Copies of this chain bind each other. A is one copy, B any other.
Amino acid sequence: MEALKIAPTEKFKERVAKLLNPRSIAVIGASEKPEKLGNAILRNIVSGYKGEVFGVNPRVKKIQEIEVYPDVFSLPYPVDLAVIVLPAEKAVVALKEAAEAGVKSAVVISGGFKETGNEGALLEEEIKKIALDFEMPVLGPNCVGIVNNNLQLNATFLRTAPLKGEIAFVSQSGAILSTVLEWSLKEDLGFSYMISMGNKAVLNEADFLPAIANDPGTAVILLYIEDVVEGSSFLKKAYEASLLKPVVVFKAGISTAGAKAASSHTGALAGSIEGYKLAFAKTGLIRAKTLEEMFIYARVFASGQKVTGKNIGIVTNSGGPGVITADRLELNGLNITGLSAKTINELKTFLPRAASFGNPVDILGDADEEKYAMTLKTVLDDEKVDGVVAVYGKTAVIDMEKMVQAVINGRRKNPDKPVVACFLGGVDSRRAKELLNKNKIPFYSFPEAAADALAVLYRYYSWREKQKEGKTEFSFDDIDRKLAREIIKNALVEGRRNLTGYETAEVLKAFGFPVLPVKLVRNVQELRKAIEEISFPLALKIVSPDLLHKSDVGGVALNIKNEQEAIRAYQKMILEVPKKVPEAKILGVEVQKQIAPGLEIFIGANRDPVFGPILAFGLGGIYVNLLNDIALRLNYKFTREEALEMIKETKVYEIIKGYRGQKAYDLKIIQEILGRLSLFLEEIPEIKEIDFNPVFVYEKGALIIDAKVVLAGHNI
């Protein structure tokens, strides 16, 4: 089924803001029976929300002081938000009536849509149509609802309300939403928003990211998704959001089995996990690979701490956990910095001789909280230190609250350097947790989690820093787009998905790729003429749309050294190929110069169903799949810098820059081919797949030796 696409108009966007921050709400399907969702939601809304609330239900007049109207048209005025809790078919009718009555936005809680099969999917299409016709944003269907703690609004049927805080959570799964809620209650962490997207019929992550990223009450956005509906819109919004706030994303359905399961339960789109990874990397989204990682990241970002460098100090009162912390920080690419002599001398004035003055600084198990605080302060004072992991293994000497106070005190003078705490075995005192949260110190039960937290902080802030660097788009003034399009069009008109070698060469030439001049000849006379223009040795190849493996049928002749050999090879080919494959249509023979071997690289692309073309670069030749030395990037807003970056990511780069004293190869031409390929894919959306393998790279210049272009057909 083709998705109805809603191009968000200004009116639509304004109404999304109303959905997130409504001044008035009507619960359609409000119920007076406590066991009904229509009652639970109403109760939750009125429990804190200060705006006007109405009920809609033809059989009741009032529910707990709330006025109930027989239908949406009878409401005193068109509310900002309708929350619809009715069986699927009735919900669609109610949605349409609400739209007609001028209601600005809606949340459809009801299930019974796409997730239940074809009939439900048809009903869901109606929701989309109403949204489109009335420019009305709709959340859901099949969702838990929405929380906006800035307004003390809980328009969900959750049995417990989230605390107020600075985490925004946007989830495609209701069960994960309640899991996150439970975790947050245990950990005393609060939310600004909780948005349950359900089936994402109309509104999806791309609609919410801009609004939430600009909310001053939100420090971090968590995103749980099983699919992305609109690839390029997601890329744009995710990038813009990441520049403002850390956005942590958990993507479920990354395995074959998982993707299948996801698609069966929400009808999620199958994009490749590679596409998602590239999308997250491109937009600065921080991927949590487990739910627990999501919690670890949420806590550290919610603390609002920042880090500017990768040199980390470790303060510990127990050896083993200090070692584990160092292991994990290093694994994460951070640096266990050497401390300055000044710091070490200072530490020696108050720590016992048996303490470790390296990094980790081990103050030993019998140290009291004062020593701990002084050590932390001293290490934070060190100019070489960008942040500290404070590790504490419970001892008889310090109790938990004193210890917490020690960390807070130790940090007091250096509030700009991050401190992440690890209390081995967890913080079991509620008061201690409150203290830590109040003082914005993220805390964990495991050294690995604390190290991961500091590492993700560094990853995010260094990514943000990197965005300030210049980005150069590719542009070429020697591209003949018209010619290229004509060739492609011609192939499509003939119903072909593959280009002939000749067409491929022509289309690549039109886009300025470095290809050998190729002449198509159809008789000996034309061959003689071609030979005049191309110097020996030559290669001849048969041209036929029906032959993929030409050498197998005698359709390739190499190393031709003179005219006589050329003519003989030509005649043999023309004679013998049709004998072997009588059904193949022969268009002629290509003549080209036989080339000198160069470094073999691979450049190619294919198209991800969600995020569009993915560019590939790596070691070429027959072992390309075997060695799998390939770097990938999305073509979306592909820059010169990214091209260079992807080349540098591979092992073949070591050879390109001159491996162990050998000569270096032309890096710039590779970058340029990637750039031209990027434009090519943008200009010719009919290309489904393209492979240059091998490309011979020389000290100066390069040549695409073999190219394959596969078209997707007319209607892409």
Within 445-485 of A, Cβ neighbours of B (below 8 Å) are at 446-449
Which residues in window 215-267 of A have CB below 8 A to B? Answer: 224, 226, 252-258, 260-262, 264-266
Q: Measured between C-beta atoms, what is the minimum distance from A236 to chain B in Å?
A: 26
The smallest beta-carbon distance between A410 and chain B, in angstroms, is 20
B358/A327 in contact, CB under 8 A: no
Q: How far is the CA of A83 from the CA of B654 in the complex (A)?
A: 60
Q: Is the CB of B175 within 8 A of A255?
A: no
B448, A622: Cβ atoms closer than 8 Å: no
Chain A, residues 167-183, CB within 8 Å of chain B (1/0): the string is 00000111110110011
Whether B253 lies near A354 (C-beta < 8 A) is: no
Q: Which of B116, B175, B320, B659 contacts A173 (CB 8 A)?
A: B320
Q: Are B358 and A320 in contact (CB under 8 A)?
A: no
- Would A446 and B175 count as touching, CB distance under 8 A? no
Least CB separation from A256: chain B residue = B330
Contacts of A324 in B (CB 8 A): 252, 258, 291
How many interface residues does A have (CB within 8 Å)?
75
State in angstroms the CA–CA spacing of A292 and B393 once bound together.
16
List residues of chain B with CB within 8 A of the CB of A24: none
**For residues 311 through 340 of chain A, which have their beta carbon under 8 Å from a beta carbon of chain B?**
318-324, 326-331, 336
B-facing mask of A403-440, CB < 8 A → 1, else 0? Answer: 00000000000000000000011100000000000000
Contact call A326/B257, Cβ cutoff below 8 A: yes
A626 close to B (CB within 8 Å): yes
A651–B624 Cα distance when bound, in Å, is 11
- Asked if A135 is at the interface (CB within 8 A of a chain B CB), the reply is no
Residue of B nearest to A352 (CB): B116
Q: Does A694 interact with chain B (Cβ within 8 Å)? A: no
A186 contact set on B, CB distance < 8 A? 426
Known A291-B447, A321-B176; judge A327-B424 contact (CB<8 A).
no
Does A586 count as interface, using CB distance less than 8 angstroms? no
Given A257-B330, A260-B358, is A290 in contact with B448 using a C-beta cutoff of 8 Å? yes
A604 within 8 A of B: no
A626: B residues at CB distance < 8 A: 651, 654-655, 659
Contact of A265 among B256, B323, B336 (CB under 8 A): B323
Within A157-197, the residues touching B (CB, 8 Å) are 159, 172-176, 178-179, 182-183, 186
Residues of B within 8 Å of A659, CB to CB, are 622-623, 626
Complex Cα distance, B626 from A659, in Å, reads: 9
Q: Are A327 and B255 CB-contacts (below 8 A) given A175-B320, A318-B174?
A: yes
0/1 interface trace, chain A 375-395, chain B, CB 8 Å (1 if under): 000000000000000000110
**Contact at B329–A257, with CB atoms within 8 Å?**
yes
Return chain B residues, CB-CB under 8 Å to A394.
Answer: 178, 182
Minimum CB–CB distance for A421 against chain B, Å = 15
Task: Decide yes or no: A253 and B327 within 8 Å by CB, A117-B354, A261-B358, A655-B626 being known contacts.
Answer: yes
Main DSSP-derived SS at the A contact region:
helix
Q: How far is the CA of A291 from the CA of B422 in the complex (A)?
A: 13
Could you tell me the distance between the alpha carbons of A640 and B622 in the complex, rounded to whole angstroms? Answer: 31
Contacts of A124 in B (CB 8 A): none
Is there contact, CB below 8 Å, between B424 and A175? yes
Interface flag for A356 (CB, 8 Å): yes
**CB within 8 Å for A258 and B326 given contacts A358-B264, A448-B292, A654-B626:** yes
A716 within 8 A of B: no
Quick one: CB contact mask for A543-558 with B, threshold 8 Å, 1 for yes?
A: 0000000000000000
Asked if A493 is at the interface (CB within 8 A of a chain B CB), the reply is: no
Q: Is the CB of A446 within 8 A of B292?
A: yes
Check: A629 CB closer than 8 A to any chain B CB. Answer: yes
Q: Is A396 an interface residue (CB 8 A)?
A: yes
Contact residues in B for A159 (Cβ distance below 8 Å):
396
Residue-by-residue, is A618-630 near B (CB-CB < 8 Å gives 1, otherwise 0)? Answer: 0000110011110
- Shortest Cβ gap from A450 to chain B (Å): 11
CB-CB under 8 A from A362, the residues of chain B are: 261, 264-265
Q: Which of B329, B365, B446, B651 contacts A627 (CB 8 A)?
A: B651
CB nearest to A394 among chain B residues = B178
Chain B residue nearest to A120 (CB atoms) is B354
Q: Which residues of B sit under 8 angstroms from A271, Cβ to Cβ?
A: none
CB of A115 within 8 A of chain B? yes
Q: How far is the CA of A291 from the CA of B424 in the complex (A)?
A: 10
Are A425 and B182 in touch, CB under 8 angstroms?
Answer: yes
A224 to B323 CA separation, bound complex (whole angstroms): 12
Decide yes or no whether A700 CB sits under 8 A from chain B: no
Select A261's contact among B265, B360, B627, beta carbons within 8 Å.
Answer: B360
Residue of B115, B258, B266 touching A327 (CB-CB under 8 A)? B258
By a CB distance below 8 angstroms, the chain B residues around A360 are 261
Cβ-defined partner of A291 (8 Å) among B175, B179, B318, B446: B446
Instruction: List 14 additional A-B contacts (Cβ < 8 Å) besides A175-B320, A175-B424, A253-B323.
Output: A115-B354, A175-B318, A176-B320, A179-B321, A182-B394, A252-B327, A257-B359, A258-B330, A260-B326, A261-B323, A265-B320, A265-B323, A292-B446, A292-B449
Q: A interface vs B, CB < 8 Å? A: 115-117, 159, 172-176, 178-179, 182-183, 186, 224, 226, 252-258, 260-262, 264-266, 290-292, 318-324, 326-331, 336, 353-354, 356, 358-360, 362, 365, 393-394, 396, 424-426, 446-449, 622-623, 626-629, 651, 654-655, 659-660
List the 5 closest pairs (A to B, CB-CB), nearest first.
A173-B320, A175-B318, A257-B336, A258-B327, A255-B330
Task: Provide 26 A-B residue pairs closer than 8 Å at the C-beta atoms, listed in order of the A residue.
Answer: A115-B319, A174-B320, A175-B321, A175-B365, A176-B321, A179-B321, A179-B424, A224-B320, A226-B320, A252-B323, A252-B327, A254-B331, A255-B328, A257-B330, A257-B336, A258-B324, A258-B326, A258-B330, A261-B319, A262-B319, A264-B362, A291-B447, A292-B449, A623-B655, A626-B655, A626-B659
